Structure 1
Amino acid sequence: MSAEQVQTKWGQFIPLVTVFFFWGFVAASNDILIPVFKKAFDLTQGQSQLVSVAFYVAYTVGSIIYMIISYLTKGDLINRIGYKNSLALGLVISALGTLLFYPAANTGSFPLMLSGLFIVALGFSLQQTVANPLAIALGPITTGSQRLTLAGGINNLGTTIGPLIVSFAIFGSVTSGNSEMSIESVKVPYLVLGAAFLLVAILLKFSSLPDKPQAVVETESDKTSARSSALKYPQLILGMIAIFVYVGVEVSTASNLPAYMENNLGFKTQDIAPFISLYWASLMIGRWTGAVEAFTNDMNLQKILRFIAPYLAFGVFLGVNKFMNHDLTPFYVYGLIILVLIIADMASKGNPARMLLIFSVLGIVALLTGMATDGMVSVYAFTSVGLFCSTLWPCIFTLAISGLGKHTSQGSSFLIMMIMGGGIVSWLQGAVSDATNIHFSYIVGVVCFAYLVFYAWRVSGILRNQGIDFDKKVSGGH
């Protein structure tokens, strides 16, 4: 590893994380659109989840298009046009998708709305294929997972803000008492978002981001990349399923929460946004906690920051909701649940496989608790799933592409393809809800977490057989 890779390249990392913010903003905003579209277009719970299906299946379609183009041109598309140019191109594609919200809102067309979301996510697919391995590569491998966790924390700043802004655009101020929804009002925030996409595309084009990260160049001739394809690595194959079920449980838990709160607890649609915001803020809380190691090697300072970071993120959530004039009283007790996250993070000792195992078990406990209780206790339990999903993406991604070398971008594309789990699992939970009830439907998420427990156990042995031991890497980094 070259000398400049000893520390994180913050000058390149900071502009990169802007795209992570956008992914979160749009993904979490979908949870507000789902109940709005359900009422406006008179949809069943299963049909309303087509919002998630259209958005997340686009990731798969985008990855397939990427692989077809790479095959037809006999070369990896991203390696040829460069990582930076690929990011800019992805942002332009997403901007084109936001333009469809204007005619869709004016005509009240549900299919056109879905088409706009599909194209936005199509651009996100290319962005994610580039940005995730790039975040890992902009510094030492020992803190690659933590760096991706930090980028995820910025992503969840977007998920915290997104539902509040979109809800405000549709319903106006909570204090106004407005309960009328306007489909036409959806177009304004998305057109503004499209303009932001184009602005960031220009900024990234002229940033110092590398066209090809040095870490990938260095490993192209490495013995660990001697296999002919990324699909020859079992950690990737099993990791693809893990990404599918992880994104599935993360998205479906949130996207079905509005229906649960409306049907079982009597909440009004416009009053649910702060709780959706809390769910996605929970991912931010967990990711800020998990990113501590990316900032310092000082073990004592890390212990202090592990307590400061999550409550700082929780403070951001409270501050944003205070600014939006929401009642904060229901949320203070959540500070106690955050202690469980801190203890679990410390127990993982920075090992992504161990963290995946511990947090997946806690996810199962949270869902079963929510299913076994009623009232606000169940809401807090379902919301805490966000805490335990928070570091799973970087854990799975890091474990799945470890040792792939020159096949890293190909492996990344396969993983991004599996983001479609967010749509498929959400639809499946919606269908189970229609067949039984919304409360029982969360059993789907329990099954997803169960597979993640299996993957965490299995991948450790697979990587050790390839000479990759994260306990040694982490201890060597200190």
Structure 2
Amino acid sequence: MNSKQIKTNWAQFIPLVTVFFFWGFVAASNDILIPVFKKAFDLSQGQSQLVSVAFYIAYTVGSIIYMLISLAIGKDLVNKIGYKNGLALGLIISALGTLLFYPAANMHSFPLMLSGLFIVALGFSLQQTVANPLAIALGPITTGAQRLTLAGGINNFGTTIGPLIVSFAIFGATASSDTEMSIESVKIPYLVLGVAFLLVAILLKMSSLPEHPETIEETVSEGSSLKSSALQYPQLILGMIAIFIYVGVEVSTASNLPAYMEKNLGLLTQNIAPYISLYWASLMIGRWTGAVEAFTDKMDLQKILRFVAPYLAFGVFLVVNAIAKHDLTPFYVYALIILVLIAADIASKGNPARMLLIFSVLGIIALLVGMTTNGMISVYAFISVGLFCSTLWPCIFTLAVSGLGKHTSQGSSFLIMMIMGGGIVSWLQGTVADSIGIQNSYIVGVVCFAYLAFYGWKVVSILKSQGIDFDKKISGGH
């Protein structure tokens, strides 16, 4: 699939996004496991964030293993075994990780639980290395970011229902304070998840996904095209830091939210799941909004979809929580906050750098409101960070690999390595919270968004020096 392709290949894209669903399901479910493990194993807030550390550090370890194997065989691993085989292998590794939940639950072992999550994420690392550039490659480069945004929207359908399903599996339909029993109840849903991993691996092997898609080629300057490594591109180096920080602020905002709601609002752990679900649904809302250009190049239809898509996604959240028999009354007001997202999306005009800058500034504002208010106002301010994180991954990823040409796969691996920020920043915020309080600890997120805003501003001049201008690309795509 090359840059001359004029339409998204939906027959190949749809099977691909199933793996995006799983990444979201498991990642968001961790936010329910964290407070449960904290009580069951008598952990501090910083120690409880080891769940995030184990999960996200596996992405770095996986990327390092990937690069070492590539060096040993003298060829890029994914290019050698094929993209479909890479996805299938990653799913099998993740399935093996779910098997550890059974003995871990029976033995009441926190380290073994962490080991299971680590292996699951190790498989995700290989899947991410393959799937992200592949999503960009399955259509024209002008809508690559929007296609990755759409895949992220499917990811966040998983993040929306993950906390609800895992919470139900742990606590049941009624409240329970028996956390030891809850630990044991974790093993069945994760075994089912392992079976699902294996079924999807078979589905992808039977799909029409290309084993060796053509590299995305960009029009770059002659000097840039002679570079021998992805690390020689400044947009990638700064983008690696941006991915580290972005995943960090996205994950830490959610993973520390249960502790904030328990301490400051007095809510029970089992009653927090709908709010965690809304946080991750917010990413789905934003990503469905940002993906409308992947569906049509008709401007009038895009304007309509920009209002329909976010409320359709919000409707999915409401329906899922209605099925789970949660009171929806507290959530209706959130429909007004979504209007801020729509306005920001329109203002970005589809330019990933401009979108990154605007959404990062809004993220800073949301966190500051959450830190300086009380009650449900602060909760919704923190939850709205999900809206403003929603399109940052595809923006950063697209900007960071733009112009890399034959080095795109290598650059992708370096970016996936930086997902470890989800664990490091979460642990950092948890540790800061132990010192200055959980609400004030969100200053960590403010600093993160400040760097992301800087990257959105700086990368424009870097890419223009290499002959890449996204405003021209976008205008040429309509």
Q: TM-score range by the shorter chain?
A: over 0.9
**Whole-Å separation in 2 of the counterparts to 1:189 and 1:373:** 37
SS of 2:403's partner is: coil
Matched to 1:38, the amino acid is: K
Say if 2:219 and 2:467, in contact at 8 Å, map to a contact too.
Answer: no
**Whole-Å separation in 2 of the counterparts to 1:421 and 1:40:** 26
Within-5 A mapping of 1:292-441 = 292-441=292-441
Deviation at 1:214? Answer: 2.2
Deviation at 1:180? Answer: 3.1
SS of 1:314's partner is: helix
Within-5 A mapping of 1:63-462 = 63-173=63-173, 176-181=174-179, 182-216=182-216, 224-462=224-462
Say if 1:348 and 1:355, in contact at 8 Å, map to a contact too.
Answer: yes
Say if 2:221 and 2:466, in contact at 8 Å, map to a contact too.
Answer: no
**Whole-Å separation in 2 of the counterparts to 1:2 and 1:68:** 28
Matched to 1:299, the amino acid is: M
Say if 2:135 and 2:148, in contact at 8 Å, map to a contact too.
Answer: yes
Matched to 1:180, the amino acid is: D
Unaligned runs of 5+ in 2: none
**Whole-Å separation in 2 of the counterparts to 1:196 and 1:151:** 19
Say if 1:169 and 1:186, in contact at 8 Å, map to a contact too.
Answer: yes
Partner of 1:36: 36
1:294-327: CA deviation from partner (whole Å, max 9, x where unpaired): 0000001000000000000000000000000000
Partner of 1:54: 54
SS of 1:214's partner is: coil
Deviation at 1:215? Answer: 3.7
Within-5 A mapping of 1:1-16 = 5-16=5-16
Deviation at 1:73? Answer: 1.0
Unaligned runs of 5+ in 1: none
Deviation at 1:178? Answer: 3.3
**Whole-Å separation in 2 of the counterparts to 1:225 and 1:77:** 22
| Percent of aligned pairs with the same amino acid | 82
Distance 1:54 1:14, change over 3 A: same
Deviation at 1:219? Answer: 6.7
**Whole-Å separation in 2 of the counterparts to 1:75 and 1:323:** 49
Matched to 2:66, the amino acid is: Y
Say if 1:220 and 1:406, in contact at 8 Å, map to a contact too.
Answer: no
**Whole-Å separation in 2 of the counterparts to 1:461 and 1:212:** 32
**Whole-Å separation in 2 of the counterparts to 1:121 and 1:222:** 37
Distance 1:108 1:225, change over 3 A: farther
1:144-199: CA deviation from partner (whole Å, max 9, x where unpaired): 000000000000000000000000000001xx343433100000110000000000
**Whole-Å separation in 2 of the counterparts to 1:358 and 1:189:** 39
CA RMSD of aligned residues (A): 1.4
Deviation at 1:436? Answer: 1.1
Say if 1:360 and 1:450, in contact at 8 Å, map to a contact too.
Answer: yes
Matched to 2:251, the amino acid is: V
Matched to 1:62, the amino acid is: G
Distance 1:125 1:397, change over 3 A: same
Say if 1:219 and 1:406, in contact at 8 Å, map to a contact too.
Answer: no
Say if 2:83 and 2:211, in contact at 8 Å, map to a contact too.
Answer: yes
**Whole-Å separation in 1 of the counterparts to 2:11 and 2:297:** 19
Distance 1:96 1:360, change over 3 A: same
**Whole-Å separation in 2 of the counterparts to 1:140 and 1:227:** 24
Deviation at 1:212? Answer: 1.6
Deviation at 1:416? Answer: 0.3
Deviation at 1:2? Answer: 5.9
Matched to 2:32, the amino acid is: I
Say if 2:54 and 2:117, in contact at 8 Å, map to a contact too.
Answer: yes
**Whole-Å separation in 1 of the counterparts to 2:383 and 2:114:** 26
Aligned length: 475
Deviation at 1:220? Answer: 12
1:404-442: CA deviation from partner (whole Å, max 9, x where unpaired): 011101000000000000000000000000011001000
**Which deviates more from structure 2 when the two are superposed, residues 3-12 or residues 308-317?**
3-12
Say if 2:249 and 2:448, in contact at 8 Å, map to a contact too.
Answer: yes
1:39-59: CA deviation from partner (whole Å, max 9, x where unpaired): 000000000000000000000
**Whole-Å separation in 1 of the counterparts to 2:294 and 2:258:** 35
Deviation at 1:5? Answer: 1.2
**Whole-Å separation in 2 of the counterparts to 1:202 and 1:443:** 44
Matched to 1:249, the amino acid is: V
Matched to 1:98, the amino acid is: T
Say if 1:53 and 1:422, in contact at 8 Å, map to a contact too.
Answer: yes
Deviation at 1:225? Answer: 3.7
Distance 1:31 1:420, change over 3 A: same
Matched to 1:22, the amino acid is: F
1:85-117: CA deviation from partner (whole Å, max 9, x where unpaired): 000000000000000000000110000000000
SS of 1:6's partner is: coil
**Whole-Å separation in 2 of the counterparts to 1:92 and 1:117:** 14
Say if 1:170 and 1:185, in contact at 8 Å, map to a contact too.
Answer: yes
Say if 1:225 and 1:406, in contact at 8 Å, map to a contact too.
Answer: no
**Whole-Å separation in 2 of the counterparts to 1:203 and 1:411:** 28
SS of 1:14's partner is: helix
Say if 1:222 and 1:405, in contact at 8 Å, map to a contact too.
Answer: no
Say if 2:24 and 2:156, in contact at 8 Å, map to a contact too.
Answer: yes
Matched to 2:365, the amino acid is: V
Say if 2:32 and 2:163, in contact at 8 Å, map to a contact too.
Answer: yes
